[in-house]
Amino acid sequence: MYMTKRVKMRVNLAEARVLLERGEVVAVPTETVYGLAASLGQPEAIKKLFALKGRPLANPLIVHVSHWLEIAAYLDSFPLSLGLLADVFWPGPLTCVLPIRPSLIPEIARAGLTTAGFRIPSHPLTRKLLEQSGPLVMPSANLSGRPSATEASHVEEDFGSDFPVLDGGKCEKGVESTILVYRGEKWVVARLGAIAAEVFLPVLGYRPPLFKREEGQRPISPGQLFRHYAPRAALFLGPIPSGITHVIGFAERSYPFAKHSFILGSLFSPEEVAEKLYSTLRQLDIEKIEAAWVDTDFPRTGLWVTIAERLERAAQKNDELPHKKQPQINK
């Protein structure tokens, strides 16, 4: 008799550690989004990780550690302001990119760059894992281009139900870490994230500017070159297209023209909206919805700026992405 039922491969902490030691890739929870972890010291495992995600090799990975003093060993120099940031924001949803001593980090992890991004996640399970496993590289645990995973079941949607996942429940923040890059003695924001840019003002004494790429200039964060966060459904952010039947919106508003509204949360709680963002985008795919209009009439301050940026990128059209390609129909 054949066993057709695949079992769910939820693993515990000890199992996750053993798999990582063996050079396997394991999905683990963080407070931002689930990460796809491989051991920093195992370039073959990191290669496997890039292949699994379908991630371009030019897109470097963030190094995750359990204590910020571990980071010092990799650095070329240690800016005073890194200590200030670490004190306030770590463990937590901040990634800092700094010049490193390249020989200490495998080339594949840093995509050949002489800088690397570091983060100390605050999720208790993964902190414990990091204490035992040592540094792990972790991109978000989604197929390249898809919305990030904020629940164990999202990881299984993208990688199959037999993929090893350390289940840590729903991610509290729901959007990725904010990335600050240290250049010319100052920090700039390379990716908006769970920490709003204005929150850095009292710590650094200035609000780090958002890095904007000039025409022809290389991006500060290679990931910005690639499409992200997109469901299969077409998203419309501008005027309401005629005939649209599905809406992504807010609890305080009614959308009488819509057959069905996906409610992101309250206009009074960007935290709630961020937390539900990717699961809502993924729900459109589960329900095989082809198009939805997104209500973007919300403030452009604090965490709302991150939410707006994610929605804009999720709505970008790009038929080149593997998961957006329509199957060929043979006539």
Q: Which two tokens stand for residue 329?
A: 């129909």
Q: Which two tokens stand for residue 271?
A: 């935290």
Pairing relationship of beta strands 178-183 and 94-99 according to DSSP bridges: parallel
Residues 259-278, mask of contacts with ligand TXA (x by CB under 6 A): --------------------
**How far is Cα 331 from Cα 329, in angstroms, rounded to an integer?**
6
Residues 4-33, mask of contacts with ligand TXA (x by CB under 6 A): --------------------------x-xx
Does 61 engage in binding with ligand TXA (CB under 6 A)? yes
User: If binding means CB under 5 A, how many residues of this protein chain bind Mg ion?
Assistant: 1
CB 34, CB 197: distance < 8 Å = no
Does 221 engage in binding with ligand TXA (CB under 6 A)? yes
Indicate the residue whose CB is closest to ligand TXA. Answer: 223
Phi/psi class of residue 184: alpha, beta or left (left: φ > 0; alpha: ψ in -120 to 50)? left
Does 144 engage in binding with Mg ion (CB under 5 A)? no
Residues 149-188, mask of contacts with ligand TXA (x by CB under 6 A): ---------------------------xx-x-x-------
Closest CA to 289 of 256, 259, 265, 318: 259
**How far is Cα 155 from Cα 149, in angstroms, rounded to an integer?**
6
Does 91 engage in binding with ligand TXA (CB under 6 A)? no
Does 140 engage in binding with Mg ion (CB under 5 A)? yes
Binders of ligand TXA among residues 94 to 123 (CB under 6 A) are: 95, 97, 110, 113, 115-117, 119, 121
Is residue 314 helix, strand or coil? Answer: helix
CB 68, CB 162: distance < 8 Å = no
Q: Which is nearer to ligand TXA, 100 or 267 (CB)?
A: 100
Q: Compute the least distance from the CB of residue 155 to Mg ion, in Å.
A: 13
Q: Compute the least distance from the CB of residue 53 to Mg ion, in Å.
A: 9
Preceding omega of 91 cis (within 30 degrees of 0): yes
Provide the b/e sequence for 299-324 (b: ≥16 CB within 10 Å): eeeebbbbbbbbbeebbeeeeebebb
* Contact footprint for ligand TXA (CB under 6 A): 30, 32-33, 35, 59-62, 93, 95, 97, 110, 113, 115-117, 119, 121, 138-140, 176-177, 179, 181, 190-191, 221-223
